[in-house]
Amino acid sequence: MTDSKAIPGSTGGQSKFAFMIDHSETYGSHVIEAFLSHLKSIETIADLGAGPGRDLAIAKSLFPEAQTIAVENYPAYVQKLANVDQVFPVNIERDRLPFADESIDVIMANQVLEHTKEIFWIFHEVTRSLKVGGHFIIGVPNIASLHNRLLLLLGRHPTQHKAYSAHVRPFSKHDTVRFTEVCFPGGYRLVKFAGSQFYPFPKTIARFAAKYAPTMAFSIFFMFQKVRDYSEQFLEHPVRANLETPFYLGGLD
């Protein structure tokens, strides 16, 4: 951390080993590129929480004819999204995505879902919008990363989900895949899984470790393929399971 007076939670890299780490690895741009390269063609690709448009730029370089759509509600980033085809300032936790049913080939959400509570609504809207055969690419911090496992053994809290930070929902490989299976049985197939960033190592070592031990990496990435028709299963699950939390379900609740 370069500013010793920064408010805790306002910035990452507060560890004394932070100087060793390439923080751009957390966003896994090389993983996003590898996932997208796996696809033969894309007509439409949307990025939820597109930020400054980093991942959409990767998509455009691989598929120049694809329509790129940014869904971004943070004003500072909206102003930077001049190089995408469409920008929608949508609150993904409360608003419908501005897409017709089964109209989008690929939807991405990289380092976004950990900031959200309304996971059932978001997955509902994504799944509604994706074509059957379309793909949902997710990148999230990994609660089961090696350094978090070691911290927990020492009775310390995982670094990515402190109560005073913006991250409110943890993810691991097993739990994320299980979530899709429980809420939408047989609806998604995990096509690709990878890791990026490996604390507390520099880039060269981190890439090697994340490649061969992705479930222990700092960030984990999923490429799910929607394989069957969808009819509100993600909204129905909290009701059927009687979850004692007031999730937003778009009126279904």
Give a yes or no: residue 161 inside a domain. yes
DSSP assignment letter at 164: T
50 and 109 Cβ atoms separated by less than 8 Å: no
Give a yes or no: residue 45 inside a domain. yes
Q: What is the pLDDT of residue 22?
A: 82
Q: How many CB atoms lie within 10 A of CB 52?
A: 17
Give a yes or no: residue 168 inside a domain. yes
Q: What DSSP string runs through 64-82?
A: TTSEEEEE---HHHHTT-T
pLDDT in tens, 58-98: 999 999 999 999 999 988 888 889 889 999 999 999 999 99
Give, to the nearest 10 degrees, the angle between helix 233-240 and helix 173-183.
90
**Tokens read off for 109:** 């959400």
Give a yes or no: residue 247 inside a domain. no
Averaged pLDDT of the chain: 92
Which CATH number does the domain housing residue 171 bear?
3.40.50.150
- What is the tally of structural domains in the chain? 1
Q: How many CB atoms lie within 10 A of CB 56?
A: 24
- Name the region of 69 (left: φ>0; alpha: ψ -120 to 50; beta: rest): beta
- Work out the average pLDDT over 20-36: 93
Give a yes or no: residue 91 inside a domain. yes
DSSP assignment letter at 94: T
Give a yes or no: residue 250 inside a domain. no
Q: Count of residues for the chain?
A: 253
Give a yes or no: residue 56 inside a domain. yes
pLDDT band, residue 229 (cuts 50/70/90): very high
Task: Find the angle CA(122)-CA(126)-CA(130) to the nearest 5 degrees.
Answer: 175
